[in-house]
Amino acid sequence: MLESEHPGTVNIEELKNRLILHELREAQLNADISKQDKLIEVLRLAEQRSAMLTAIVNSSDDAIISKNLDGVITSWNSSAERIFGYTADQIVGQSVLKLIPQDRHFEEPEILDRLRRGERVDHFQTKRITRDGRMIEVSLTISPVKDSRGVIIGVSKIARDITALILAERKGAILSAIVTSSDDAIISKDLNSIVTSWNDSAERIFGYTAKEMIGESIVKLIPADRQQEEPEIISKLKRGQRVEHFETKRVTRHGVLIDVSLTISPVLDAAGRIIGVSKIARDITDKKLEEQRKNDFIAIVSHELKTPLTSMRSYVQLGLVKAIENGDSFTETLMRRAENQTRKMSTMIHDFLNVSRLEEGKMSLHIERFSLPELIEEVVSEFRPFAPTRHIDYLRGPEVQVDGDREKLSHVLINLLGNAVKYSTEGSPVCISCDLERGTATVSVSDKGIGISEEDQIRLFERFYRVKDQGLKNVSGFGIGLYLVAEILKLHNSQIQVLSVPGKGSTFSFSLGS
Ligand code: ADP
């Protein structure tokens, strides 16, 4: 038997080639030309085959290792080097136990026993250890190497590093547990709106099982009057945008309309192409009902308070006129204060009514063309008597006509001025301005008051949001003024902006096209 360069290892290809060479030499001696040609062809094919095998082994992504029956490594490809960190020079001739963690050394004789019985060991998952001591997860396929008489002379081993796969699987299992246990419906669909996954909560909320929905179009859940939402959402996602907290209605299997809040994100493939859509739907029907009850209550109470308050204000105004006529300065001061307070109350009631109108989608605009500087002047002169100790600075600028709801925009200005006064100290100035640039008018209301932190600036325009500050505990308000300001401006296709530095002051501004 021929020994290869490593003791105890036999190279079958080498052995075969040597036998052919021996026969060839004999054919040459016997001048047997046809046998010579045949043998040369056989040798050429054998070389070709061996080159091909070497190329396959070297280009494989898996470690391809062979060892003899004593567990000594006899060959080692480049992926084995990449996965385990040893070069062929460092490991060939060494025991394979070097790669096996101590607590798994028992595997080696067990595998050999199975191979001796002629079995192949397929996709056997275990752990191996790399040169730098890292534990990796591998999947092994082990086959016996036999000589021409069928005697097992060694073992070939294909080892695949599945560490990343196992980690991904674990991550996948965690994600899938989250999806399954979520209280929200989590649904995925392809770009043709066909449902591709459907969790338990989707079943609970919409009444369809996964079996009934997967492969079906999602439009089944969309009420007839909202069908246009689907193409709109898909085109938004195709532009790479995410749709967050989009409140809408969906219809269940039993035909019940439910309120849902949707968060929809694109699902991208490895190359960043959109291949589908994932959707989280939260059933907010109860929340909506609760809101509806609250709004109804606010609307009724505000409406009932409005009538007596209007009469009270008229009596106070009559009392004020009488006191002035009588030269009764004490009563005059009291009446002015009472008038100021009734004005504040009616502003609040007005705000509450507007909030409930807005929530019901019943706030409509009465658009007319008017002079914006003139409106500001009117609002400022109406406002001044109610903040007699404050300096409200307004320098009327260039004329600008805008289209808008005059009454609602005056309400916006009153709210901004009221806050500027309320959240700044006595004596500090409040400034309102209207600038015109390239056909756009920008109105700004500034104060040098307490200012607003960046965190609060983000939430300022939410309904009922008030800054939580000990110093503001005694400042009255409900946190709806700025919400209304933002919503009214939205209806005018405008947006409220805030610039503020705590301790230095704030500027609220908005723009309107002329
Ligand atoms: P309210 O004044 O009734 O609380 P708003 O919606 O008008 O409600 O304002 C929300 C919150 O924003 C206020 O509670 C206040 O903390 C803060 N804020 C509004 N305007 C200003 C301002 N000019 N300076 C400082 N803080 C302000």
Q: At what angle do helices 406-422 and 481-491 cross, to 10 degrees?
A: 150
Tokens of 122: 């397929």
pLDDT of residue 16: 67
pLDDT of residue 413: 96
Per residue in 391-403, pLDDT tens?
999 999 899 999 9
Best probe residue, ligand 1, of 459, 468, 482 (max atoms within 8 Å of C-beta): 482
CB 447 less than 6 A from any atom of ligand 1: yes
Nearest-angstrom CA–CA distance, 455 and 435: 29
Q: At what angle do helices 33-59 and 12-29 cross, to 10 degrees?
A: 160
Q: At what angle do helices 406-422 and 329-359 cross, to 10 degrees?
A: 120
Per residue in 11-46, pLDDT tens?
556 666 677 777 778 877 777 788 778 878 877 777
Instruction: Give me the chain's average pLDDT, please.
Output: 88
CB 481 less than 6 A from any atom of ligand 1: yes
Tokens of 475: 């400042």
- Mean pLDDT value across residues 305-326: 93
CB 460 less than 6 A from any atom of ligand 1: yes
Higher-pLDDT residue of 24, 4? 24
- Residue 83: pLDDT over 70: yes
In sequence order, the β-bridge partners of residue 186 are 280
Instruction: Pick the atom of ligand 1 nearest to 445's CA.
Output: 23
Nearest-angstrom CA–CA distance, 189 and 210: 12
Per residue in 436-450, pLDDT tens?
999 899 999 999 999
**Structural element, H or E, at residue 126:** strand 121-129
For 92, other C-beta atoms within 10 Å of its C-beta total: 20
CB 479 less than 6 A from any atom of ligand 1: yes
Find the DSSP H helices in 157-284. Answer: 163-181, 200-206, 210-213, 229-238
- Residue 180: pLDDT over 60: yes
- Residue 2: pLDDT over 90: no
Select from 97, 155, 93, 158 the least CA-distant residue to 129. 97
pLDDT of residue 355: 85
Going from the C-alpha of 114 to that of each of 9, 117, 151, the distances in angstroms are 21, 5, 14
Residue nearest to atom 16 of ligand 1 (CA): 467
Residue nearest to atom 7 of ligand 1 (CA): 481
Instruction: Pick the atom of ligand 1 nearest to 483's CA.
Output: 6
CB 207 less than 6 A from any atom of ligand 1: no
Going from the C-alpha of 161 to that of each of 97, 126, 151, the distances in angstroms are 18, 10, 30
Torsion 330-333-336-337 (CA) sign = negative
CB 449 less than 6 A from any atom of ligand 1: yes
pLDDT of residue 7: 39
CB 375 less than 6 A from any atom of ligand 1: no
pLDDT of residue 24: 76
Residue nearest to atom 14 of ligand 1 (CA): 466
Residue nearest to atom 18 of ligand 1 (CA): 419
What are the DSSP calls for 9-28, one per residue? ---HHHHHHHHHHHHHHHHH
- Residue 137: pLDDT over 60: yes
What are the DSSP calls for 210-226, one per residue? HHHHTTSBGGGGS-GGG
Task: Please enumerate in sequence order all residues whose Cβ is within 8 A of that of 459, keeping only pairs 6 or more positions apart, or say none.
Answer: 465
In the chain the first and final C-alpha atoms are separated, in Å, by: 100
Sheet holding 430-437, edge to edge: 392-394, 430-437, 440-447, 505-513, 497-501
pLDDT of residue 501: 96
Nearest-angstrom CA–CA distance, 255 and 268: 33
How many angstroms is it from 351 CA to the middle of ligand 1?
14
Most distant pair of Cα atoms in the chain: their distance? 151
Q: Which of 27-41, 203-217, 344-358 has the lowest mean pLDDT?
A: 27-41
For 82, other C-beta atoms within 10 Å of its C-beta total: 11
- Mean pLDDT value across residues 183-208: 93
